[in-house]
Structures are given as structure tokens and as C-alpha cells.
Structure 1
Amino acid sequence: MRIALFVTCLADAVFPDVGRATVTLLERLGHEAVFPPTQTCCGQMHVNTGYQREAVPLVRHHVEAFEPYDVVVAPSGSCVGSVRHQHAMVARGAGDEALAGRATAVAARTYELSELLVDVLGVEDVGAYFPHRVTYHPTCHSLRMLRVDDKPLRLLRQVRGMTLLELPDADQCCGFGGTFALKNADTSTAMLADKMRNVVASGAEVATAGDSSCLMHIGGGLSRLRTGTRTLHLAEILAATA
């Protein structure tokens, strides 16, 4: 299958290994990963901070970049959530019904990584090997907006050599929420403290999730406290073979 990679801003600018791991994983499973070179930000940051009019050109550009592809994948529940739940809304708010229709069509074939693997490709054992103690944090967008349910856990349970540990209060937000962490710093810090406490209590060496943004938040806190626990994106674990 020919699959277009929607790499996301964070993977492109800060965590490129996540994009590389996604490509490695897809190619190992026998699929062709294509990178549309014209892709840019999907506009989620603009929409979430109230700049819906300014997001319209980004929505249009995203549609034009990914319209030629039958399947699109992103290693981010947050960005896929934006494509599915915001793009058509933004276009309609600007009075562009034609763009809204095109955005809806692109959104219908855009998947978060675990969705693509389990629901579209029909695979749970991806041939990964990762000999570490790991706990999984279900990010808010993947859990509540996309409702990926236990798909990431089903994939992780098949990773050879890995011990999957339960995360206490796993469904609780880590406190990042994009600009929420800036506008509500004290609340965000308190939520992060709870999440870090639970990650450490799990006994894991590695905390994983499907969103680099949450991992950046959690990983930064764990690093500052020198807990010895690191964070790694789900794609990187699933791409590991040694």
C-alpha cells in the first residue's frame, strides 16, 4: 500500500526520529511510505487559540498536499484530531463549502498510527523487539477525540522482550494542552506532577505515548527530576528490532 506520511510540526522540527521510525515501520511491513514535500502545519495551533480565519489557508494547503493520496498517516493523535474535527469546521466557518467537502474527504482517509496498523493494515505484531520496562500514557486527543481505545496497547503487548506495566490513573491528562501549559502554568505543573508520580510508580524505564507534545511535557519533567525514566514515541518502540 502507498501511504502518505503527515509528519507534523513537532516531528519535523524537534523529534525527527519519530518520522523516521514511522517510515521504517511501514516499510518493514511491506508498504511504500511517501512524504508529500509541500506539507506544512495543519493549522491546529491557530484554531485552538482562536485564529480560525488565519487557519483557512493552512487547511486549504493541507488538503491540496494530501488530496492525491488514498491513505494518510500521522504519528500524532492531536494532529489527526485536528484534521478530522477542525478542518471542515474552519472551512465552513469561512463560507467555503467546497473546501469543507474536500477537507472531509481527506480527513476520512487520515489515520493516527495505531489506527492505521490495527484497523487498516490489520496487524498487531509488527515484529518489534524492545527489551525494556514500558508504561503507556493515552493522550487526551487519542483517547477522547479519536477513541483509539486499546489499539496502542494491543500493539505494545506484541513487542518481544518488553515488559508492559500499567500506568496508574492512565486516563488523566498530563497537563500540556498546547498553550494551556503557558496560560495556566500552575495548574499544568500540578497535573504534570501527578502524571510523573504515576509514571515513576509504575516502575517503567520508558514512558510511551502516541503524541510527541505530551511526551515532550512529561519527558522534560522527568529529566529535570533526574528520575532515570525516559520517554519514547510509540512509533520508535514499534520500529525497534534490537
Structure 2
Amino acid sequence: MSPTKPRVALFVTCLVDLYRPTVGFAAIRLLEQAGCTVEVPRLQTCCGQPAYNSGDRATARDLARPVIDAFLGYDYTVAPSGSCAGMIARHYPALFDDDPNYRGRAEALAARTHELVSFLADMRGMTGVRARYEGVAAYHDSCAGLRELGVRAQPRQLLGTVEGLTVKELADPELCCGFGGTFCVKYPEISTRMVADKARDVEATGADTLLAGDMGCLLNMAGRLKRQGSAVRVRHVAEVLADMTQAVPPIGDA
């Protein structure tokens, strides 16, 4: 790792802020362990992804501008979410393709934006963590993290160093859980079928814990598992890697 500490801005994400602040604190702990100075810009807002995915580019741009203004001055922007990181890193430049004032700024921010676990492994060279978690976990690959940012091996690599933890693969770890942001609202019947299939896949592994890196996926899968009476615990991968699972109960249990 570099002897100098990079300044990292944590993009907390709406769902972490509103439903699971512990994930934000876990992200800060991990980033500091990786030798970073972490700041949380107070003026951050939604990244604009829900509006963008719904075709409302005007609202998405209105939301994206203050994000660019708040985060551009840092060495890196890191988010504990593949979908939000993917929005900034992959879609912001095109969102401002006809705006000469923000196109270059959007490109600059996009180039410095990363999903949390991939940043730790790929940018900071983290190969292991000091954490313990007794159990057997299945890992779900979120669509945006996997397909837009290439997040797959990194969480498995770091989870493999957690004492007491065994990781089992789902039969179809790369299949969508059915959340898809506004997809689950527009197509509830299809979404319900998809998350039911995912829940069956999780149960079939015999795992007692389900992990993922996106709160949208986790809330969706936790809700389905709870409604069908499953005992599987659901957690964000950052909570396990940061050894903070004692801080809060599993997602959906509180």
C-alpha cells in the first residue's frame, strides 16, 4: 500500500442512510484499515439512479449535479453499493453528454469512483481482514456490481479470510433477485417470482447466512426469506468483513 493516505469520500447511499447506517460505519472501518483517510460529505444526496432507470433524465441530472460538486475534490469516491457506484462510474458521463459545464466533471468523478470491496482489493491491495463470524454463508452477486463493475472475486477473496466462516456458492449466484430498483414496483408479480427463486436457491445451500453488497438486494431477499419463515440471517458483506455483526441484528430482524 502507498505510504500516503488517500482522501476517500464515502458515498453512504440512501438505503444505508435510512435503513442500515451500520454498513456506513463498517465501510469507514474497512477503509481506515486499508490506510485511507475517510470523509463523509454532508451535502451528498441520492445519486439519481431511480429517476435515471425510470427514464427521467432531467431529475437524474438535478440530483447528480450536487453529488458531483460534493465529491469531486477527493482522491476517490467509494460506495458500499454496486448499483450506486455503477450509476456514478458508468452513467454520469453520458447523463451530461450535452452539458459542457458538467461533462468533464462527471468524467473525472466517474474515473475515481469504486464499489467498496473492489476498492479494498483492487485499489488498496487488501488480501485479508481481521474478523470472525461463525457460520456458513451464501453470497449473492448484485446485478450492477457484477455486470457494470466486475465485482465478483473480490468479496469471496476477503470473506475467505474471515475466521469461522465457510462460504458456499449458490446454484445461480449471478441471477437477479428481482429488486431492480423501480422494476419491483412496475412488475411486482415477476419480481416476486424472481425473489422466490432466489430464496429457494439460498435455502438449498444449507447456509445460515446470506451476504451481498447492495442494500436493495438485501432488503428484498430478507423480506422474502422472513415472510416464508426462513431462519437464514441476512447481512451486508461489509458488516462481516469489518467484524461489526454484533452491533445490529440481521437485516429484517429489527
| TM-score normalised by structure 2 residue count | 0.91
Q: Distance in 1 between matches of 2:10 and 2:138?
A: 26
Q: Deviations over 1:171-205 (max 9, x none)?
A: 11111101111111111111111100010111111
Post-superposition shift, 1:225?
Answer: 1.1
1:91 and 2:93 aligned: no
Which of the numbers 30, 38, 45 marks the counterpart of 1:33? 38
2:249 match: none
- Asked if structure 1 preserves the Cα contact closer than 8 Å seen for 2:141 and 2:213, the reply is yes
Q: Which amino acid aligns with 1:31?
A: C
Post-superposition shift, 1:25?
Answer: 1.9
- Aligned CA-pair RMSD: 1.3
Which secondary structure state, in structure 2, belongs to the residue aligned with residue 130 of structure 1? strand
- Asked if structure 1 preserves the Cα contact closer than 8 Å seen for 2:15 and 2:215, the reply is yes
1:199 and 2:202 aligned: yes
1:4 match: 9
1:228 and 2:231 aligned: yes
Q: Which amino acid aligns with 1:44?
A: Q
Q: Which amino acid aligns with 2:167?
A: L
1:123 match: 126
Q: Distance in 1 between matches of 2:29 and 2:228?
A: 32
- Identify the range of structure 1 (192-201 vs 165-174) with the bigger mean alpha-carbon deviation: 165-174
Q: Deviations over 1:127-162 (max 9, x none)?
A: 121111111000101111111231111111111110
Q: Deviations over 1:54-90 (max 9, x none)?
A: 2212111111000110011100000011002221111
2:58 match: 53
- Asked if structure 2 preserves the Cα contact closer than 8 Å seen for 1:208 and 1:231, the reply is yes
- The number of residue pairs the alignment matches comes to 240
Post-superposition shift, 1:98?
Answer: 2.9
List gaps (5 residues or longer) in structure 2.
Answer: 247-254
| TM-score normalised by structure 1 residue count | 0.95
Q: Distance in 1 between matches of 2:114 and 2:131?
A: 21
Which of the numbers 28, 31, 52 marks the counterpart of 1:23? 28
| Overall identity of the aligned pairs, in % | 45
| Paired residues for 1:208-219 under 5 Å | 208-219=211-222
Q: Which amino acid aligns with 2:203?
A: V
Q: Which amino acid aligns with 1:128?
A: A
1:156 and 2:159 aligned: yes
Post-superposition shift, 1:29?
Answer: 3.6
Q: Distance in 2 between matches of 1:239 and 1:225?
A: 29
Q: Distance in 1 between matches of 2:83 and 2:182?
A: 14
- Asked if structure 2 preserves the Cα contact closer than 8 Å seen for 1:29 and 1:126, the reply is no
Which secondary structure state, in structure 1, belongs to the residue aligned with residue 132 of structure 2? coil
Q: Distance in 1 between matches of 2:151 and 2:181?
A: 21
Q: Distance in 2 between matches of 1:230 and 1:222?
A: 9
